[in-house]
Structures are given as structure tokens and as C-alpha cells.
Amino acid sequence: MRIELRYVKRAIRRRKRKDGSIWQRAYYYYRRDGAPDNGKPLPGAPGEPAFMAALAAFNDRAEGGPAKRQAGTFSALVEAYLASPEYADKAASTQKEYKFYLRRAEEFIGQVRVAEIDADIQLALRDRFKHIPFAANYLARVLSLVLNWGAGRRPKQLRVRPRDRIWSDEEIAAFMRVADEPMQRALMVHLYTAQRQGDCLSLTWSQIKDGHISLRQSKTGKRLEIRMPQPLHEVLSNVHRTSTHVLTDERGLPWNANTFRHRWLETMKKAGLKGVQNRDLRRTAMVWMAHEGVEVYAIAAVSGHTITQTMEILRTYLPPDAKMAEAGIRGLERAATRSKPKA
């Protein structure tokens, strides 16, 4: 169901790919005659924090002057940086360029809280200017500089205890019971590929061929080719393809990362799940493989971790319980059939 908001206009851009498929994306604009921000683009999609914050700021300016720069927002960070000695030490030409790009960034994410500006938001902002590569890259550098400057002024964070949770069978079943089809499909892809959320969301049908999934991990650059597990094959073979991407929303469009996280948390809450996160599915898959006696080298080949990382993960998430003992005994029995000791 589309959310209807006053002063918001939706536009669809389509482009034909080389393989004949159609790429499309929705963009939103602020349309309010006489308003200072009339015609400006809104970031993301309705319901997302950045979108709603920008819409509220545009309406504030239209109805009562400039929007307030609330503490903790990107706009407040920009004002603090522009008043800082670090900015004052820059050459006049550099100051002018920095200020220009920071004001452009403010138009999109000014009212977004700095704590919510993750890599996905930064990349989306950069890609707004991808038609001018120099401007896009310069904006990305300035944005990173100011965010790092702000981070250096924050109190040091307390050390966080490493996570040691994986999904139980009961938690997976509870999620699947209340989830709609797009969310069910998302859980299956995350669990049965053992990949990061970003790589799962960017997975396309062209990467699946002859029962195998080929991908290059965005974080490490490592190229993987893994056979698609039967449970995942059964789910994907019944999907009505409406996009180049495997994971899509209820409209059949590729997920926006922020919207996906919001919908995932909604489903978690509906299922009454606490203590587990989407990223824990990757480790759950690794533990499942270890319980079945799969060697560390094979697990690493699927998840893309190094051997050392895989061993560390299994030490943290795989306590020596009854399942592990059973896997060990099965291995011992298999060895016995190959070479029985003489009495």
C-alpha cells in the first residue's frame, strides 16, 4: 500500500539494461507552491527517518521560517564544523568548496540524526550526484571528513561485549509464521547463503545459474561460488520475478536498505522475538554446518571468512554441547568403517 503524503510527488525512472531487463526506481519531490523548498528532492522513501525529517524541515520553512537545527542532527554538526578552528585553518577556496557541498548534503539529510547516518545513507547521497563523478567523489570526501571530525569530539564508547547469539529453530519458525512472503524470502536467502545483509539485498537473478550462486562480497571483495541449498532452491523456484533483484518488497521493487531494516524490525516485533538480529543468521548457518560435522575450511568457503575468523566465530558461537559431541561420534564411526583397529 502506498503512503499518501501532502506536498509529496512521486516519479518513476526506468532504464533498459543490456540484458533486456528493466531497472526502475521511485523518486520523491517536495511540491508546494510558494515554499522555499518547492521542487527539491526528498531522500529515500516515505516512512524512512531521512525522508520524514526532510519533509518536516521543508514544511517548517514553508510555514514559519528556517527549520530549527536540533542537537544531534547533521545540520547541527555542519554548523559546529563551520565554526571550528579546523575549518578556519583551511584556505579560503577550500572553505568555499566545503561549505557548498555541506549545504547540498544538508538539503537531503540535514534533519537526520548523525547516529543514523550509516554507509547506505552516505552512498545514496553520493549517488545523487553520480552524473558528475567529480562532484560525487568530492561530496563523499567532505561528508566523511565532517562525520569523522564529529566522531572525534564524542566521548569514547564503552566496550561492547561480542555477540554470542544464534537463531534457534523456534525463533526461525516464529518469524516465518508472521512474516509476509518478501520477509520470508529474505530470511531464507540470509540463512542459506551465510552472507551479509548488503550482499543479500544486492543479489540478482543473473548471479544464480545452474543451481549455483556467484557473488563478490562488497566488504572484502572476495569472489564466491556456492551451490544453492535445496530449501532455498525450493523457495526461489516459486518466486514470481518482477525485478532483476532476488529480494524485493511487496511492490516487487528492490529493497531500499533503510526500508528493509525497518520492515525486518517490524516483523521481529510482531513475532515477539528479542535478542537476535538479522546479522546473526549468518553465524547460525555456520553453526548449523559445524553441527553436521562440516570442516572449518568448507564453512569458510561458503561464508567467505578467513580460516582464522571462522575458527574464532565457532569458538564463540559453538559451545561443546550434545550436538557437537554427536557430530564427533559420527565422525569417529565413519573413520572406524574405513580402518577398524585390530583386537
Q: Which of 201-205, 227-231, 321-325 has the lowest mean pLDDT?
A: 321-325
Average pLDDT estimate for 63-90? 78
Q: What total number of domains does the chain contain?
A: 1
> Is there a contact between 62 and 37 (Cβ–Cβ < 8 Å)?
yes
Q: How far apart are CA 101 and CA 104, in angstroms?
A: 5
> Is there a contact between 259 and 231 (Cβ–Cβ < 8 Å)?
no
Residue 320 has a pLDDT of 58
pLDDT-based confidence at residue 255 (cuts at 50, 70, 90): very high
> How far is residue 125 from each of residues 28, 41, 197, measured CA to CA in Å?
14, 11, 20
pLDDT-based confidence at residue 231 (cuts at 50, 70, 90): very high
Q: Which of 1-5, 67-71, 313-317 has the lowest mean pLDDT?
A: 1-5
Residue 2 has a pLDDT of 46
For residue 117, is pLDDT > 50? yes
51 against 136, higher pLDDT: 136
Per-residue pLDDT reduced to its tens digit, 235-246: 999 999 989 999
User: Which stretch, 114-123, 158-167, 275-284, 320-329, has highest mean pLDDT?
Assistant: 275-284
- Domain membership of residue 101 (yes or no) is no
Residue 1 has a pLDDT of 37
Task: Report the SS3 class of residue 227.
Answer: strand
User: What are the E-state strand segments in 144-276?
Assistant: 208-209, 212-216, 223-227
> How far is residue 38 from each of residues 16, 111, 199, measured CA to CA in Å?
30, 17, 36
Q: How far apart are CA 4 and CA 7, in angstroms?
A: 9
- Domain membership of residue 278 (yes or no) is yes
Percent of the chain with pLDDT over 70: 85
User: What are the E-state strand segments in 17-79?
Assistant: 22-30, 41-42
Residue 167 has a pLDDT of 93
- Domain membership of residue 66 (yes or no) is no
Domain residues for the domain of 179 are 169-330
Residue 46 has a pLDDT of 76
pLDDT-based confidence at residue 3 (cuts at 50, 70, 90): very low
Q: How far apart are CA 24 and CA 253, in angstroms?
A: 8
pTM of model > 0.75: no
Residue 165 has a pLDDT of 82
- Domain membership of residue 25 (yes or no) is no
For residue 162, is pLDDT > 70? no
Residue 260 has a pLDDT of 92
Percent of the chain with pLDDT over 90: 29
- Domain membership of residue 83 (yes or no) is no
> Is there a contact between 300 and 306 (Cβ–Cβ < 8 Å)?
yes
How many CA atoms are closer than 13 Å to the CA of 216, on its beta-carbon side? 1
- Domain membership of residue 64 (yes or no) is no
- Domain membership of residue 306 (yes or no) is yes
For residue 330, is pLDDT > 90? no
- Domain membership of residue 178 (yes or no) is yes
Q: How far apart are CA 296 and CA 134, in angstroms?
A: 44
Q: Tell me, what CATH number does 260's domain have?
A: 1.10.443.10
